[in-house]
Structure 1
Amino acid sequence: MIKLEENYLQQLFYRILHNQDIQTVFQPIISLEDGTILGYEALSRGPVRTPLQNPAKLFTYAMENGQLWELELLCRTKALETAHALQTTGKLFLNVNPNIMSDRKFRQGFTKDYLRRFQMDAETIVFEITEKEAISNLNHFKQTVRHYKEQTYHIAIDDVGSGYSGLNILTDIHPHFMKLDMQLIRNIDSDQTKQSLVKSLCEFAAHSQIYIIAEGIETKKELVKLIELGVHFGQGYYIQKPAPDLLPIREEVIALIIDENKRKQNRSLKRLGGPFVKEMSTPLQTLEAHVLIDEVKTLMHQDQSVPGFCIVEGNRVIGVITRNELHVKISGPFGYSLFSNKPIIEIMDTDFLQVDVETPIHTVAKLAMRRDAKHLYDFITVTQNGDYYGIVTVKELLEKTIEIEVNVAKHLNPLTELPGNLLIEQQLQQCVEVQEGYVVLYLDLDNFKPYNDVYGFEKGDQILMHVAKLLKEIVLPSDFIGHIGGDDFIVVASTEQSMMYCEQIIQQFDASIEQFYTPKDVANGWITSKNRHGKDELFPLLTISIAGIMNHHFHTTYDLARIVSEVKKRCKQMIGSNYLFAE
């Protein structure tokens, strides 16, 4: 019986190879900032209603029988053919075994001539390399990756964070994308450990200029949490299941992403006084799609300050043409004669950066700088409710961003580099005005003055910087941290995060504070210092008190500060590190 089954699988597998009986399905990868499609991952399936329809079983059988190369070649070929037939846009993610990338036959499959058959460029192809796959020769692999990156192919590392996989491969090859394993994403909305890990990976990615893609998003709550954590892109069943056709993203998903980003922006960037892009948009002339290229050239010649034009249908932007791109298209011995009498829609760029008028300038700057080198200095299109509103140039954007950063820097605490009293006042004023669900946490160190008297101000400053570092590590980027002065700090957070913040802050503070004492004082559990009457007194080691108010409605920031101050006094009367919320 087993022999018959083995024979059947063998015949089925070779029939698949011979008949090229592989179906390619596509799963979209979308931006978690605006819901636009970055590209598609090409996934392979065996013949339906057969034991090898499941890709895991199909590839396992191929590997066990020494046919992995043949199967992967077939799957890649089918993916390119199907993507070409469906006229896919954006990037195409192809799963690749890292040990075959240097093979001569693999390289032949990705020459410019070969891709030209499918009307594709190297920069649209992303080799997705699984981190689970052992790399036989790391140095040779790094050279191979460097070769493909020089040819403008992109590299993604798959399954980051799975099992006990290391992160060395990220620093070794510096990929363009890293894809977080679906087990790391599962139930991340309720798992603080996973949130902390993803938050750390986002910070690493920001420093390393790598984009993060979260795989396996299956619920609305997971998606919302990933947006809050700052993950760049996502894919999964909640967004869209793999399908043989290219289906549009559901409107409810796009609306959710846009709404959550607006909430996040209102909580974080607006509090720092960062203006919206609407305030610096220039309403330049637009062009209809039928306008001839020769007319566009004349318009640009008449006004050398114009960076380009937005092409519209009605009042919806369907493409852009920049001055540089127009020059490239019509230059050369035949460019002008070839294009001059054609409509501008023939050469306009449909892959352009478009933002809503309510997008904060900091966010627009980040989006603009994430573009590839070809489009890095193109102007940004601004819309309102989907209609054309104006444009912003990169020069204007950078100048305004620098101006904002200088203004903010003026009001940062010089020791901890956290927002100081002016920015704290603005944040509290927003809480009073908006009346959304929020929690204000007032943090105060207990017995800090005696510590300063015994150990000196330099050691005291080290503790303040230590507390600031703890807060930055624990509090999400979407929430607010401020340094009032001395040993007083403030956090403004969403209601659902506040209790967790208090517990983590107290736990980590108590676990780390002993490093700032001598072993003798740690053993005693106290220090001796002068009290306010000038007499020696025993003071316990430093603890932290956190007073909180949530969902209260105040008329002024003074009322808010008065209530939280009263709660702080009651909290400080308790022994040890504690947190207390207003009733």
Structure 2
Amino acid sequence: MKQLLREIIENKLFTTLFQPIFSLSNGDTVGYEALTRGPEESVLYNPVKLFESAKNENLLWEMELSTRSSAIEKFLSLQSDKILFLNVDPDIIRDKKFVKGYTKHLFEKIIKQSNIIFEITEKTAIKDYIEFKEIIKNYKTQGYKIAIDDVGAGYSGLTTISEVRPDYIKIDMSLIRDIDKDNLKKSIVKALVEFANNTNIKLIAEGVETLDELKTLIKLGTPLAQGFLLGKPSKELLVLDDRLKNFIKETKLSLEKTKLTSAFKVQIGTIARRDSGVQCSTLSKDIESIFLGNNRLHGIALLDGEKVVGLITRRNFFTHLGTRYGRELWLEKPVERIMDKNPLVLDYSIPIDQAIKRIANREEDKLYDYVIVEKDKSYFGVVPIITLLEKSMELQLNIAKYSNPLTGLPGNLIIEEKIREFLDKKMPFSLIYFDLNDFKSFNDYYSFERGDRIIKYTANILERHISFYKDAFLGHVGGDDFVAIVGSYDIERLCCNIIEEFDFNIKRFYNKEDVERGYIISTDRDGIKKQFPIVSISIATVNNMEITNYEDMIEKVTAVKKVCKELCKKFKKSYFLTEEKVLIKQEQRTN
């Protein structure tokens, strides 16, 4: 065996393969992991057997140096500027000969240390963390980066992470497998994502094999991934298939939009789990095998062809089998004999908030049963109740996060998303910008507390009037600025009504003597005392009749707002101005 190993090492009879690692933000290639295989059709083809045999024959250091040097040579020959992950056993990386041999080879081949990631594969426990920590620190000062492999399995635990302080953490495939169906795994990976973000460590999910796993990892915020779905180990440097790249981009884009979307907009089908349905004629003994083979499965959709006809829950199924003579009575019979013939079946397009209302109206004993989702009148998937509630809570928290704390109205990010959404629909709408005049002087004169009351008063007026329009939207830009979107070009009556109510009631926020006088005396931005009239409101509007993009719309409404503010100042009263009126005035000046 020793002679065979020496021959393999000296003649480099092994094969180097590269598995790509991709960004889950856009599908770009980030780097490659170098993987070694022994001579083909040899007893040492398997890498585990190859390195274990080398260790047993005291040739591990020679094998490590030879295989890794060969990997670098091969990688350089493929002319890539990406980073390269090299697996290294802890027993080897602590050997001073190892880094000297590597550094010498890297200088000879002109490759930057910063492009090399030592991936520590913990096949054996690290016995002395103090010594190992110093060794890793030494490597880092030379420019190398460190990754910890198989986190979540074997010896790769929190102690290693805290002592080594790696640049990368690789999540073991055991945590990734079926993560879309396992809430505990989701929670673990979510915690790792948050930890990695807080510590500036890059996280890589290993062993991704299905689209559902990939989608779940993107949703959890995992930045990087590798696996057979994305790219198998290859002699060539693979890039991501266009179909998968588009899938990643579309999933990411959908998530960004969803972050700023209410529960009444998100369709239940977007969170459905693509569990396989089973024909209702299937024997109960086969259903038992399915349940026993997957402890996390709490229900199965039953079909007649592609049509949903029922649901069998784990609880209901084993309740029937658990009765006296239950097994004898039911196991050889079709499951349709004991299925729930009236499960909650919803169309893919039903919004989440409506789904929750439908669930709340179910019988108590069915409250936690899966919701079955159909698309085009055919079975699509199931939604566990916990998934539905978590998504609803996530959406509400996101809305709260991006809302103005004083008024509770959506803030700038949501406002932009809504304007773009209306533009994409290509339906008639008007963008209305509201701004209070002389509000700063009121704040300085009366206090911020009374100023906040005016802001809330303004928000209440705007909400009440705008609510009469279907699909209208109101946002709070900040301070005394608000934005509304109304699905109509005919908004003059709306603006006039808002001005009328605002002007009629605004005086109640002033002292009686100031109202009688018609102004207050306060300091301007230059610290000069001046007379300031009662706060008024300026309303500037534009529509999408000739505007097709967000930037142009914002530019136009800003220009109209500027003119409107000047008119308010000139006439000392509230004013409403459309883009058309501004254009007419400009033409009159020209003529």
* Larger of the two Rg values belongs to structure: 2
Q: TM-score, normalised by structure 2?
A: 0.48
TM-score using structure 1 length? 0.49
